Amino acid sequence: MKLLPCILPFALLSLSVGAYAQHDEQKSEAPKSGAQITFEKLKTLAGTWEGHLQTTPPHPEMDGSIGQVTFRVTSMGNVLMHEMKSSARPDDPITMLYLDSDRLLLTHYCDAGNRPRMVGKMSSDGKTVEFEFLDVSGGTQYGHMHHAVFTIVDENHHVEDWTYMEPGDKPIHAHFELQRTKL
């Protein structure tokens, strides 16, 4: 009877690993949805990227600054984490991309203190994923991220366009042309 408390955690772990493997096999048998195909395409961006930032309307303190973007596939392949750093700003907002049933969602953990969510769809040419605003948690008194577009040019180049809504719904567009620096 003393052996049961020692064996029980290992037995439960074995069952959960077995269930995960079975779930993974079932996932691979079913045809992939548009959201799944799009998510798999975005996962090819895993690695580190660098490029210059341009804003519209111009923000001289940010324009021309060097941005570094890192994508990392995490959570057993269920999440793509996007981290952005810039020579113009000390922050590094985090964005998580993930599947929710038949939707591709993006949650942006913004330095404005909120968490906007957006729904993504791939363009008909299969190169661009556009994320439309869904909702936001947290206050918007400092503004919020409202729109994002990822365009995959080739395996070593991609473009990101982000739209931030300042208070009063004044948009600022940020454009990054990024080049892969490492996988």
- Residue 168: Cβ within 10 Å count: 6
- Measured CA to CA, the distance from residue 5 to residue 10 in angstroms comes to 10
Same domain, 19 and 106: no
> What is the per-residue pLDDT across 31-75, written as a single tens digit (0 to 9) for each?
999 999 999 999 999 999 999 999 999 999 899 999 999 999 999
User: How high is the pLDDT of residue 29?
Assistant: 79
Task: Find the range with the poorest average confidence among 16-30, 35-49, 111-125, 135-149.
Answer: 16-30
Query: pTM for the full model?
Result: 0.83
Amino acid 89: pLDDT? 78
* Domain, as residue range, for 7: 1-30
What is the predicted pLDDT for the residue at 91? 75
128 and 47 fall within a common domain? yes
Q: For residue 85, what are its two tokens?
A: 């750093």
Q: Mean pLDDT throughout 98-121? A: 96
For the chain, what is the mean pLDDT?
A: 89
Place of tokens 């300042």: 166
Percent of the chain with pLDDT strictly greater than 90: 77
Q: Does one domain contain both 39 and 56?
A: yes
Residue 10: which pLDDT band, with cuts at 50, 70 and 90?
A: very low
Same-domain pairing of 57 and 91 = yes
Q: Looking at the structure, do residues 102 and 148 belong to the same domain, yes or no?
A: yes
- pLDDT score of 16 more than 60: no
Higher local confidence (pLDDT), 127 or 16? 127
C-alpha–C-alpha distance, residues 131 and 147, integer Å: 6
Strands (E), the chain: 47-56, 66-74, 79-86, 94-100, 103-109, 115-122, 128-137, 144-154, 157-166, 170-182
- Which helix (H) or strand (E) segment holds residue 13: the answer is helix 4-29
Instruction: Write out the two tokens for 95.
Output: 């964005």
Lowest mean pLDDT among 6-10, 69-73, 118-122: 6-10
Residue type for position 25: E
Residues 135 and 161 grouped into a single domain: yes
Query: How many Cα atoms within 13 Å fall on the side-chain side of residue 12?
Result: 6
Q: What is the CATH number of the domain that holds 132?
A: 2.40.128.20
Do residues 20 and 47 share a domain? Answer: no
| Residues contacting 15, CB < 8 A, separation 6+ | none
Say whether both 18 and 96 belong to one domain. Answer: no
If you ran DSSP here, which 8-state letter would residue 57 be given?
Answer: S
Own/partner long-range contacts of 150-154 (Cβ < 8 Å, ≥24 apart): 150/42, 150/45, 151/127, 152/41, 152/44, 152/45, 152/127, 152/128, 153/127
